């Protein structure tokens, strides 16, 4: 893990504040946004923006049949840092033990996450996806959540996904098919298990929602359960059903990329989302926010809030998402000429550095653990 940067201020850049872009320097000390310091780094020609908060990212695919969970986690952290991500939730589908008495694949993965987390250059967390067909295993699921500090859960309905062909939205698939027979034959049993889970989530303060909703009915069911976050819905009707009851809608960035490409963004509510997630394209978040600004769809403050301030607020992460003094020093540094991320600072540590920004930081003590190109 990189060492903390010494107290310094970033000068010359355009910085994104609550009132919009400003030429006011950003000072850092002890891992937080702070006040003025004498030592400075000239970032003229750059944007200094709040670090990206990615609510749902797909883990990197391992090329080995024998998956090294810690290797995947470290790769995810580096990959996120290179794209300006400072907080990243990796999606993981709950998997029960294959045999009685054996640890579940989910326990193995989450234990690897707990062990690796202090060494990761990005704040990597786990989004646990629970298919309806597996909700009856609520005791094992809650044991995992309570013992490891998982703070974000999303329900999914794989039985409906299996029969649904998405119109435009993303093409993610579950790692494990649900027990469709259980869903068809014992819906009340499954529903009781879902209610048990949400009651336990509320008691632990876990944030929960749904992912991959394929219809308005599915979204309404999740909303009635209290799973208000509508993450990466697979149909426009599901997203509309969430908006109708003021549930937050979190779209996959790839959906916005497609709408920008085809010119189908609406005029009255051009995005129709409270936040964006990378889903299966970790580099899409910064690109989409900047593209929305360049296309004149949103100003930079509103566009960047979709990937920083808004997801932080929805997740209850009150210590990040803005450049306000006292917040975590999570920053994304973008070259204004090329619109590329050239530096990422996570909790006051340089986690990524490349291009011209690298020469600007030459006089600042930086650990060699920084991800670089």
| Contacts of 352-360 spanning 24+ positions with Cβ under 8 A | 352/81, 352/82, 352/84, 352/121, 354/82, 356/45, 357/43, 357/46, 357/333, 360/41, 360/42, 360/43
- pLDDT-derived band at 158, boundaries 50, 70, 90: confident
Is 179's pLDDT higher than 60? Answer: no
Mean residue pLDDT across the chain: 87
Is 181's pLDDT higher than 80? Answer: no
Q: Tell which residue, 230, 325, 259, has the closest CA to residue 27.
A: 325
Residue 151 phi, psi (nearest 5): -120, 10
- pLDDT-derived band at 160, boundaries 50, 70, 90: low
CA angle 144, 347, 327 (to 5 degrees): 100
DSSP secondary structure letters along 298-317: S-HHHHHHTTTHHHHHHTT-
Q: How far is CA 106 from the centre of its chain?
A: 19
In percent, the amount of the chain with pLDDT more than 70 equals: 86
Q: H-helix or E-strand containing 206?
A: none
- pLDDT-derived band at 365, boundaries 50, 70, 90: low
User: What is the reported pLDDT for 2?
Assistant: 75
Cite the beta strand spans of 43-84 per DSSP E.
46-50, 52-57
Is 80's pLDDT higher than 60? Answer: yes
Give me the sign of the Cα torsion angle 210, 121, 7, 290: negative
| Structure tokens belonging to residue 270 | 């051009």
- pLDDT per residue over 284-317, tens digit each? 999 999 999 998 889 999 999 999 999 999 999 9
How far apart CA 25 and CA 50 sit, in angstroms, is 13
């Amino acid at each position: 893990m990189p060492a903390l940067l010494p107290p310094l201020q970033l000068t010359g850049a355009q910085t994104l504040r609550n009132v919009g872009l400003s030429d006011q320097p950003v000072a850092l000390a002890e891992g937080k946004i702070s006040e003025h310091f004498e030592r400075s780094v000239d970032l003229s020609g750059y944007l200094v923006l709040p670090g990206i908060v990615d609510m749902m990212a797909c883990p990197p695919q391992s090329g080995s049949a024998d998956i090294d969970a810690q290797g995947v986690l470290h790769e995810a952290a580096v990959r996120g840092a290179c794209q300006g991500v400072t907080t990243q939730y990796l999606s993981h589908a709950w998997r029960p033990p294959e045999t009685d008495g054996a640890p579940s694949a989910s326990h193995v993965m989450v234990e690897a996450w707990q062990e690796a987390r202090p060494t990761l250059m990005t704040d990597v967390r786990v989004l646990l996806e629970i298919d309806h067909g597996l909700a009856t295993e609520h005791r094992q699921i809650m044991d995992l959540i309570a013992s490891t500090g998982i703070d974000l859960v999303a329900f999914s309905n794989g039985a409906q996904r299996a029969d649904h062909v998405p119109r435009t939205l993303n093409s993610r698939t579950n790692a494990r098919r649900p027990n469709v027979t259980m869903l068809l034959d014992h819906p009340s049993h499954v529903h009781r298990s879902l209610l048990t889970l949400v009651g336990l989530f509320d008691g632990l303060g876990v944030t929960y929602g749904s992912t991959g909703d394929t219809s308005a009915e599915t979204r309404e069911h999740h909303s009635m359960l209290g799973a208000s976050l509508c993450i990466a819905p697979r149909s426009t009707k599901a997203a509309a059903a969430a908006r109708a009851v003021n549930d937050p809608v979190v779209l996959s960035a790839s959906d916005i990329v497609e709408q920008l490409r085809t010119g189908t963004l609406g005029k009255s509510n051009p995005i129709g989302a409270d936040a964006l997630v990378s889903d299966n394209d970790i580099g899409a978040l910064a690109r989409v926010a900047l593209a929305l600004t360049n296309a004149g769809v949103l100003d930079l403050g509103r566009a960047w809030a979709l990937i920083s301030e808004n997801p932080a607020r929805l997740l209850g992460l009150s210590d990040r998402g803005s450049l306000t003094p006292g917040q975590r020093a999570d920053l994304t540094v973008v070259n204004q000429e090329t619109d590329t991320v050239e530096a990422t600072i996570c909790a006051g540590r340089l986690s990524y550095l490349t291009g011209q920004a690298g020469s600007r930081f030459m006089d600042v003590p930086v650990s060699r653990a920084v991800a670089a190109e």
